[in-house]
Amino acid sequence: MYITAWTAVSPYGLGREAFAEGVLARRRTAAAVLPGPRAVPDARACLVPDFDPRAVLGKKGTRAMNRVTGLAVTAVGALVGRDTGDAGDVGGTARADEPDCDTALVLGTTTGSVQSMMDFTRASLTGERPFDVEPAVIPNSVMNCAAAQCAIWHRLEGPNTTLACGRPSALLALAYARRLLLGGRARTVLCGAAEEYSSARAWLERRSRSVESAGSPVPLGEGAAVLRVELGAPHGALAEVLAVESRFRLPGTSVAEVVEAVARTAVEQAGIDRREVWAAVSSGLCDEETGVLGELFGARTVNQVPLTAELLGDTGAACAAFQLTATLAVAAYEAPEARCDGRIAVVTSVDREGAVTAAVLRMGGAI
Amino acid sequence: MDPRLTRRVPAARLSAAVALELGLADAEVVTVGTACSAGNYAIGNGLDAIRVGDADFALCGGADAVCRKTFTAFYRLGTIAPDCCRPFDAGRQGILTGEGAGVLLLESLQSAEARGARIYAEVLGYGLNCDAYHPVAPNQASVARCMRLALHDSGVKPQEVDLISAHGTGTRANDITETQAIRDVFGDSPPRTVSLKSMLGHTMGAASALGAVACSLAIAGRFIPPTINHVSTDPLCAIDCVPNTAVEADLRIVQNNGLAFGGNNAVVVLGRHEQL
């Protein structure tokens, strides 16, 4: 399975170019959170600058659109734009003319928009009557809202799947996408993840943190990143997905031992000697994870691709999606003429709920 | 707020709780968030994972609890029945919210036979598509296409299907759209089509998993579960919904429909396994 295009809507701005430029410059994006209508507990966060679904997508069909849906629709649009083709550039606001039955969408999330869900429940609790709620926002309170809106907006009639798997979502989406392709259920899969910054999410994170491991908290981030994957790549690939492996961390086992087991199995599955690994890409949200990758693949490997958590914050469900796009950005920058250089990257992710996943990519891939 | 409560919010907790309880260390733990068809999505993913060799066993299912958010949404849309759920009935007034969980264990035939497992049914195939049409209203042509995808994937002709477990919510929008889509695919004499929601209510994320469980039991137990609370069939829902009383039936192939907000359609086809 090959990755043939990608895009990102990130704290660096809209599109692939902005993302690649920011990652290569290793520019951190945390900035002061401007006072808004809702209080947040954070002084700093990594937000997609000036992002407003109505400004980016136009006023038609966006009146009730929530932020995570806007991020996802914008990102997916960059990969389906009939005009922009493979550019991965955001900005095409035109809706697709023809329905597409052959393209699937697999989108990762944590819980959809907790802001929309809590606003909706709050309206029911505080309204004069318990059903005094705005019907237009009902779809926003369902977890599959963003993926469904991407389908409506871009006329994607193929399989449309929401994976609520937290941080590793994009890696699990790759495994899911491979099954769809092998089963002949789609010819192309757009897979990625989206997460919004909101007051509700910020407060939930803040209240949850007291049971997390110590250390200075990573600021929250947001955004969406989407990859296009296919079984064949006659026009060349950005990377080949060699393996995706998952485990679950049970109580009494350390993050390090599970990450090591997953990463070892993944490279074995891929038929790769671990000394061949060029980049080991940790989520950067867990020191143990980065540490064990360095021990396993060599200290040099963990510095090849910048830690997206340091640059973009904790982007929740979008974490692994941004790790993937950062890896693709670095590989393209380092070998702009020779895409098929065959270097190996291992991307890992650890979710707080216990899922641990690793993907092995051969950069450039075979054609 | 208690951190133990806030940490329960992420949906990944749902499948993680199962892995924790059963001690599943060597497992891909995934929560599918496709609302009311999630159970069928999970079965499809489990089937493919086994077919391509990613897993030996797949625990696939759905779970949901009655909550204020969901009830309020359906109430505001005018779809909550005041008394009971009467799918396909001329006098139907909507859904009843329900809750529950259903899980199926999938494995290869070789694996099931090797451990002497009781085989309830064979998962023949499934279909997924998206209406890409409306956030909450179903689309007849797209629902029909999803059923055709599932039948094609299963290598089954429409006339070979013995029973359909409909999504059958008991709302006007669903029941008419779904039964007309069934007639588009199956012609003027479609297989008997029942709604478990008449008995269970709409269990949302659990609904299509519970539907698949019921289909498996129906195949193994050679019966059709009825559509209860039925008085007179809506002429716009021209199907035999097996009103009020279960009937004995020799079922070879059963189709389980799951539709969801966002046009996330998922249809699973189950078949009887003839144990030699």
Q: What is the pLDDT of residues B59-110, one digit of tens each?
A: 999 999 999 999 999 999 999 999 999 999 999 999 999 999 999 999 999 9
Q: Is A5's pLDDT higher than 60?
A: yes
Q: What CA–CA distance (Å, rounded) separates A299 from A319?
A: 22
**What mean pLDDT is reported for chain B?**
97
Domain regions of chain B by residue span: 32-271
- Percentage of chain B with pLDDT > 70? 100
Of A93-107, A189-203, B178-192, B249-263, where does mean pLDDT reach its minimum? A93-107
pLDDT tens string A230-245: 999 887 899 999 999 9
What is the pLDDT, as a whole number, of residue A92? 46
Residue whose structure tokens are 């699990």: A172
Q: How far is B203 from chain A (nearest CA, A)?
A: 15
Pairing of strands A239-248, B223-224: unpaired
Interface test with A, best of B30, B37, B74 (most A CBs within 10 A): B30
Task: Specify whether the CB–CB gap between A30 and A313 falls below 8 A.
Answer: yes
Shared domain check, A249 and A174: no
Tens of pLDDT, residues B199-241: 999 999 999 999 999 999 999 999 999 999 999 999 999 999 9
The residue among A182, A197, A230 that closes a domain is A230
pLDDT score for A216 = 65
Instruction: Provide CB contacts within 8 A for B165, sequence distance 6+.
Output: B193, B194, B195, B196, B211, B212, B214, B215, B218, B254, B255, B256, B257
Which residues span the domain enclosing A196? 2-230
Do A297 and A277 touch, CB atoms closer than 8 A? Answer: yes
pLDDT at A268: 98
Q: What is d(CA A318, CA A12) in angstroms, rounded to the nearest whole number? A: 14
Q: Are residues A357 and A299 in the same domain?
A: yes
> For chain A, what's the residue count?
367
* Pure H helices in A12-154: 16-24, 53-57, 67-80, 114-126, 145-154
Q: Does domain B32-271 have CATH number 3.90.1410.10?
A: no
* Same-domain status, A80 and A206: yes
ipTM metric: 0.97
Provide mean pLDDT across the span A317-323.
Answer: 98
Looking at the structure, tell me whether residues A119 and A13 fall in a common domain: yes
A99, A161, A253 member nearest B34 (Cβ): A161
Q: Are residues A133 and A194 in the same domain?
A: yes
Q: What are phi and psi of A340, to 5 degrees?
A: -85, 50
CATH no. for residue A281? 3.40.47.10
Which residues share a beta bridge with A103? A188
Q: pLDDT tens-digit profile of B35-44? A: 999 999 999 9
Does residue A173 sit in the same domain as residue A223? Answer: yes
Quote the CA–CA distance of B88 and A90 in Å, as a whole number: 46
B261, amino acid identity: F
pLDDT score, position A37? 87
Report in angstroms the alpha-carbon separations of B196 from B33, B84, B107: 22, 13, 26
Q: A7 forms bridges with which residues in the sheet?
A: A226
Residue A212 scores a pLDDT above 80: no
pTM as predicted: 0.96
Domain co-membership, A162 together with A15: yes
Closest CB to A158: pick one of B14, B45, B130.
Answer: B130
φ, ψ (nearest 5 deg) of residue A45? -155, 170
Partner residues linked to B197 by β-bridges: none
- Measure the CA–CA gap between A215 and A207, rounded to whole angstroms: 15
Q: Does B56 touch chain A (CB under 8 A)?
A: no
The answer to whether B273 is a known catalytic residue is no
**Which CA distances in Å does B115 have to A46, A356, B15, B216, B224?**
53, 30, 25, 20, 29
Burial class (CB in 10 A: 0-12, 13-18, 19+), B98: buried
Same domain, A325 and A223: no
Angstroms from B15 CA to nearest CA on chain A: 9
A353:B10 CB<8 A:
yes
Q: Looking at the 3D structure of chain A, how many domains does it have?
A: 2
For the question of residue B202 being annotated catalytic, the response is yes
With contact defined as beta carbons under 8 Å apart, do A348 and A281 qualify?
Answer: yes
Tokens of B115: 């451990």
A157 touches chain B (CB under 8 A): yes
Per residue in A120-137, pLDDT (tens digit) is 999 999 999 999 999 999
Shortest alpha-carbon distance between residue A174 and chain B (Å): 12
The candidate with the shortest Cα–Cα distance to B177, out of B188, B190, B166, B187, is: B166
**A174 vs B219: CA distance, rounded Å:** 35
B85 has catalytic annotation: no
Please provide the size of chain B in residues: 276
Catalytic, out of B60, B202, B230, B241: B202
Tokens linked to B170 = 């008991």
**Residue finishing a domain among A211, A230, A249:** A230
Tell whether A207 and A324 lie within a shared domain: no
Contact map slice: B 223-252 vs A, CB within 8 A: none
A232 and A177 in contact (C-beta within 8 Å)? no
> Could you tell me which of A114, A283, A100 has the C-alpha nearest to residue A190?
A100
Bridging pattern class, strands B264-271 and B122-130: antiparallel
Q: Give the per-residue pLDDT at A367.
A: 45
Does residue A79 sit in the same domain as residue A140? Answer: yes
Which of A230, A261, A294 is at the close of a domain? Answer: A230
Instruction: Using alpha carbons, select from A207, A255, A278, A223 the residue that is nearest to residue A108.
Output: A223
pLDDT for res A93 = 45
Confidence band of A86 (pLDDT split at 50, 70, 90):
very low
Q: What is the DSSP string of A261-297?
A: HHHHHHHHHTT--GGGEEEEE--SS-HHHHHHHHHHH
Q: Where is B157: in which H helix or E strand?
A: none
Residues A91 and A154 in one domain: yes
| pLDDT tens digits for range A148-184 | 999 999 999 999 999 999 999 999 999 999 999 999 9
Residues A318, A251 share a domain: yes
Q: Do B33 and A163 touch (CB under 8 A)?
A: yes
Percent over 90 (pLDDT), chain A: 85
pLDDT higher than 80, residue A269: yes
Over residues B155-177, the pLDDT tens digits come to 999 999 999 999 999 999 999 99
